[in-house]
Amino acid sequence: MQGFLNLNKPFGITSHDCVAKVRRLLRQKKVGHGGTLDPAATGVLPIALGKATRLLQYLREDKAYRATIKLGITTTTDDLQGEVIAEKSANNLTLEAVKIALEKFQGIIQQIPPNYSAIQVQGKRLYDLARAGENIIVAPRPVEIHQIDILDWRGGEFPELDLEIACGPGTYIRAIARDLGIVLQTGGTLAALTRTASCGLQLTKSLTFADLETQLEQGTFNPISPETVLEHLAIINLSAKEAKAWCQGQRIPLSDISTEHLGNVQQIYHEDDRFLGIGKVVNSEGNVLLLPQMVFALE
């Protein structure tokens, strides 16, 4: 079985646990995921099956989330799963003040990852270092926030703010909650998180584990095809002769291709519409060539 599963990850288990469960349900060894979700987060977890695991690096990187931020509370993990280390009444906080503060989180911003995250420092995960009591200072990293929309606001001593966030890769929503609290001088933490889109897959079309088990019992489960998930990449069609040579690792001369494709990876198809894999267009000594990057199907 090859292709992708748009899994609706449940609350309380790790992304690794999800991969292990899919592996058991499908009785398939080769299973991987695209983009870790914290145990307390739910929503879209792209799962690759079989040879499609080799395509994970080529998937779209943008993501979207629905998040609830609780203001007035600071925790060790920047979400409600951690220990509360500070509380401050935010009863006087207004939605207008929040709107102004959120303007600082638009576009490309510098973000310090949470101490409890999977980033590696000196060969160790940050969360392992944090659990061991080590205080590691991580340098800020640039991340891109495409859009933030306010969905709901519930005032009170510890107000809650529901947001819809579209962002680029490497963005920590927990860090946005923490930093928004800093800007507002109230403290802030992430109360709930659902990923609504990832790698081009949408929450509305995702499957729960119960859905997957039902489809497997009924024999109706079909993985999402690689070409569907890779639709953001341009396509190059090869003749039968060219396809055979390309699948054998040979460089294919290209005469009729736009220079805008140079340096980019492309989907490669046989002339009979079979998906063959991923190639890259390069300029070698004045010649435009198509190089195999990942061969998905052999002639």
The pLDDT averaged over each successive group of 10 residues in the chain (299 residues) is: 94 95 95 91 96 92 97 94 94 96 96 73 58 69 96 97 96 96 97 96 97 97 93 90 90 72 84 90 81 77
CA distance 21 to 25: 6
CATH class, 233-295 region: mainly beta
pLDDT at 299: 41
The domain ranges of the chain are 3-60+199-227, 63-198, 233-295
CATH architecture for segment(s) 63-198: 2-Layer Sandwich (3.30)
Q: Is 256 a catalytic residue?
A: no
Query: What is the predicted pLDDT for the residue at 145?
Result: 97
The CATH code belonging to domain 3-60+199-227 is 3.30.2350.10
**Among 38, 78, 79, 179, which one carries the catalytic annotation?**
38
Domains 3-60+199-227 and 63-198 share a fold: yes
Confidence (pTM): 0.89
pLDDT of the residue at 218: 97
pLDDT of 254: 80
The confidence score (pLDDT) of residue 262 equals 74
Nearby residues of 149 by Cβ (< 8 Å), 6 or more positions away: 163, 164, 165
> What pLDDT score does 192 carry?
98
Q: What is the pLDDT of residue 1?
A: 80
